[in-house]
Amino acid sequence: MIKVNLREILEDKKMTLTELSKETGITMKTLSAFQNQKVESVQFNTLEKITYALDITVEDLITKVVDIFNISIKFEEIFNERSESGYFIITWWHNEEFYQNTPVQFKVVRENRENYKRVEFILDKFDDTLPGSLFTMPKIAYDYFERNNLFYNNNSFLELISYLLVQEYITEIADESTIYDQYILNVSNIVPVFTTRDISKDEARFTDVGNIFLNNKMLYYVNLTSKDSALHLKRNNITATDKVTANIESLSNTKFINFISINDDFKRDVSLIFD
């Protein structure tokens, strides 16, 4: 996002917009529209006159503001290791300020197999009585995911949700989990079987079909890793006695993930950026 700092600069220099208009020869209407970011574009000559009159650089006058979003998941307080269904809450922050909470309904199926546990989270169909859905989020995030077809499938919003969900479950409910356990997010109730997209110009040379049908991913298998990342510096393997968590670091190359940090209790915090 671009921010015009003209108002703050004029206040700092104890100068009015009227005085700047007389100094530069730029009309008050033009300056006011520029100051309030009501213009689609601005001429170089206009920027040159303003910066010269105020003895500043273009970088002082116009700055790029980076919107950083953070996202986390918590289970409702009554959810425990015996619960078969419940809610988890997706919390969004924007530039370190709380933005919104979104409740998501799910069921959980647990199976004890011969050498490991299998835990499958099944997202419920959207409930119109709830204040939002899984895809209720800041508009800039929604537009980004929609524009880049990243709501679901690999390196997507849903893949990130699956890892955050498993991290929270292991931390709060199943601390005894081992590297051999299997965690799955099932989204078949909320995701269409197919997605269509327009074919590219190169693809159009080989077909007369106007679009392509793509199979959507219904099951997200979450890789686990050592809860203490320093363990990898000591040895190459993880054993059944090691504490584990969701391997969120494996998503670090995802386009919209800006940074992954590890806090004091070894939980991974994720910050997002939408260019």
Q: pLDDT tens digits for 179-198?
A: 999 999 999 999 988 877 66
- pLDDT at 65 exceeding the cut of 80: no
Are the beta carbons of 261 and 180 closer than 8 angstroms?
no
Give tens-digit pLDDT for 241-266.
899 999 999 999 999 999 999 988 89
At 157, the pLDDT band (50, 70, 90 cuts) reads very high
Neighbours of 157 (CB within 10 A): 22
Q: Could you give all domains of the chain from N- to C-terminal order, each with its CATH number?
A: 2-64 (1.10.260.40), 68-273 (no CATH)
Distance separating alpha carbons of residues 34 and 42, to the nearest angstrom? 8
The half-sphere exposure of 247 on its side-chain side, counting CA atoms within 13 A, is: 16
Task: With CA atoms as reference, report the closest residue to 189 among 139, 152, 149.
Answer: 152
pTM as predicted: 0.77
Q: How many residues does the chain have?
A: 275
For residue 160, the one-letter residue type is L
- pLDDT band at residue 207 using 50, 70 and 90 as cut-offs: low
Distance between CA atoms of residues 33 and 5, nearest Å: 13
Strand partners, 121: 108, 185
Q: How far apart are the first and last CA of the chain?
A: 9
Cα separation, 102 vs 190, whole angstroms? 16
Higher-scoring residue by pLDDT: 201, 56: 56
pLDDT tens digits for range 74-99: 999 899 999 999 999 999 999 989 99
Alpha carbons 225 and 221: distance in angstroms, whole number: 13
Cβ-contact 120, 109 below 8 angstroms: yes
| Residues in Cβ contact with 163 at an 8 Å cutoff, skipping those fewer than 6 apart | 222, 246, 247, 248, 250, 251
In whole angstroms, what is the distance from residue 87 CA to residue 77 CA?
9
* Six-digit token string for 100: 């919104």
Whether residue 232 contacts residue 211, with contact meaning beta carbons closer than 8 Å, is answered with no
Extract the tokens encoding 105: 């309904």
